[in-house]
Structure 1
Amino acid sequence: MVSPSWMYDAIIYIYALSLLFYFSDFIGANRSAKRMGTGLLVFVWVLQTAYLGLSVYNHVDRAYAMSETLFLFSWLLVTVSLIINRFFRIELFVFLVNVVGFSVLALNIFSNPRVTPMLGRWEVSDELLFIHITLAVGSYAAFVIAAVFSGMYLFLHRQLKEKHWSVTMKRLPSLEKTDRYAYRAVIAGTPLLITALSLGLIWVVLQGSAEQLGDLKVLNSLLVLVGYLYYLFLRLSVKANGRRLAIWNLYAFGVVLLNFIFTNWLSGFHQWVWM
């Protein structure tokens, strides 16, 4: 029986949003973010459980197909992560396990021939690309916001250091707030980029074009991710000062611009952006 994809799309988006909240909790020990992430993950688990229940009911006379086995594997990862989250405080474990579970689930859903896209003229791979692009654009938007706040931080820092008081300075938030807002934007953008890259890699796998993993756009996207992970490392482990963090944030955003503008011209399969 062919299945519509609205349920699968809902699971993917809710799962991705859950990862965002879990990442925020892992980085900043945010209890509210953890509760939101857990609530969304429980909802994902409920939807997956309902699907598995229907599968068992419809397959009493034969074994699971590969797609259903992968779905079961993803469900088990979600179940284990919820148990670990309930009884232990290992936020990094929960986040990483669910990145794997999200990737397995996406690979299973978009390679399943029984899933039909919401729009009749689309292929399932088109929906995969649509979600990939949506998450990537969301991450870029977050990085733009982070860059703006970092630029404000450097401007305000210089004005204060040189004791140049002006009306503009009075309209800007404090150094502490601009640094904190930039940090929060990076926390929002980084997990979105991770999930977008995961879906992009899954698309490459489904297309059977492993050589595209060496595409300049793919490599530069990974470099963007490394840049923002290093920013988080500087803030959380090195405890770098706000000026150093702002400068590195702008460096990382420079790589984002390079990735979005120039590498599209040289990419073998991302040139559609300019069409």
Structure 2
Amino acid sequence: MPAKTWIYDAILYLYALSLLFSFSDVATKNRSAKRMGTGLLAFVWLLQSVFIVTRVMEHRYMPMLTMFEALFFYCWVLVTVSFMMNWFLRLDLLVFLVNVVGFAILALNFFSDPSVTPISEQWEAKDELVFIHITLAIGSYAAFLIAALLSGMYLFMHRQLKSKRWSAVMGRFPSLDKIEGYTYRAVLIGIPLLILSVALGTAKIMLEGDAHLLLDAKVISSLLSLAVYAFYLMQRLSGKLPGYLLAFWNLAAFTIVIANFLLFNLYSGFHQWIWM
């Protein structure tokens, strides 16, 4: 069973990485990121196929008789269909959304199966789901913090240049264009990480059978954070807002992230652990 656990983990982590690269392509039309995301997704499809074939050889039937098998096969179908859409229709955004849903279902399916042994025998499968959820959230918060710091640098530089004041400290800063570009890349990393974290958190809620927690303050604030950063991303891609306003918006978005991490835990039904 531990060998199968590594297959489960490999599928999930490769799937997550594939989504990160795919998001970069959807947001910026980055062909290199698309190739990387597609390649990782191909490995996911291959591992899923190996699992299905192994299941057929072990049990002598098409693995669709149990809920776990049916959902796993459904996720395999989603990946297969996404490849077809990517090849014939070139609908990158739709392919990304299909695979986000597929990833969430796959995670829910893996961690709801009692036969899936976690990496550490002291852990339950649900604990591993929470661990990955928290890890992704922390990664997104780190990316958003870097983006906020860069935005602060941008505003400082912009004010100094506008007032025609120069200092030795400014000589150690990158140009405004580079700062803005780095900020954009940091947000590009943070958004998909937060999307995946929210997807796994939702899977955990559904796994516990507490659907009412979908209206929890923590869930709503996380979705609000995503919406604010998505607006920043759209404005940046449209080129309608100048750099200093984008920097202000990015700092405002990070304020919501801080509130999400600190304040909304007071009103959350399942995140009080942070204050322990």
The reply to whether TM is greater than 0.5 is yes
Match of 2:85 in 1: 84
Contact 1:142 1:186 in 2 (8 A): yes
Structure 1 gaps, min length 5: none
Match of 2:122 in 1: 121
Find the residue that maps to 1:164 and give its secondary structure: coil
One-letter identity of the residue aligned with 1:12 = L
Once residues 27 and 61 of structure 1 are traced to their aligned partners in structure 2, the CA distance between those partners, rounded to angstroms, is 42
Once residues 170 and 261 of structure 2 are traced to their aligned partners in structure 1, the CA distance between those partners, rounded to angstroms, is 32
Q: Which moved more, 1:175-184 or 1:110-119?
A: 110-119
- Verify: 1:130 aligned to 2:110, yes or no: no
Match of 2:5 in 1: 5
- Verify: 1:174 aligned to 2:175, yes or no: yes
* RMSD, aligned α-carbons: 1.5
Once residues 223 and 178 of structure 2 are traced to their aligned partners in structure 1, the CA distance between those partners, rounded to angstroms, is 29
Once residues 200 and 93 of structure 1 are traced to their aligned partners in structure 2, the CA distance between those partners, rounded to angstroms, is 22
Once residues 217 and 132 of structure 2 are traced to their aligned partners in structure 1, the CA distance between those partners, rounded to angstroms, is 21
Once residues 269 and 144 of structure 1 are traced to their aligned partners in structure 2, the CA distance between those partners, rounded to angstroms, is 24
Match of 1:28 in 2: 28
Contact 2:2 2:119 in 1 (8 A): no
User: Which residues in structure 2 correspond to 1:99-178 (within 5 Å)?
Assistant: 99-178=100-179
Shift of 1:4: 4.4
Shift of 1:172: 0.3
TM, length-normalised to structure 1 = 0.96
Find the residue that maps to 2:198 and give its secondary structure: helix
List 4+ stretches of structure 1 deviating above 3 A. Answer: 1-4
Shift of 1:13: 1.2
**Aligned-residue identity in percent:** 58
Contact 2:147 2:187 in 1 (8 A): yes
One-letter identity of the residue aligned with 1:29 = K
| Distance 1:206-1:167 versus aligned 2 partners, 3 A rule | same
Once residues 268 and 93 of structure 1 are traced to their aligned partners in structure 2, the CA distance between those partners, rounded to angstroms, is 33
Match of 1:97 in 2: 98
Per-residue CA deviation, residues 22-45 of structure 1 (Å, 9 max, x unaligned), is 000111111111111111111111
The number of aligned residues is 275
Shift of 1:269: 1.1
Per-residue CA deviation, residues 170-229 of structure 1 (Å, 9 max, x unaligned), is 110011011111001111110110010000001001111112112211111111111111
| Distance 1:157-1:76 versus aligned 2 partners, 3 A rule | same
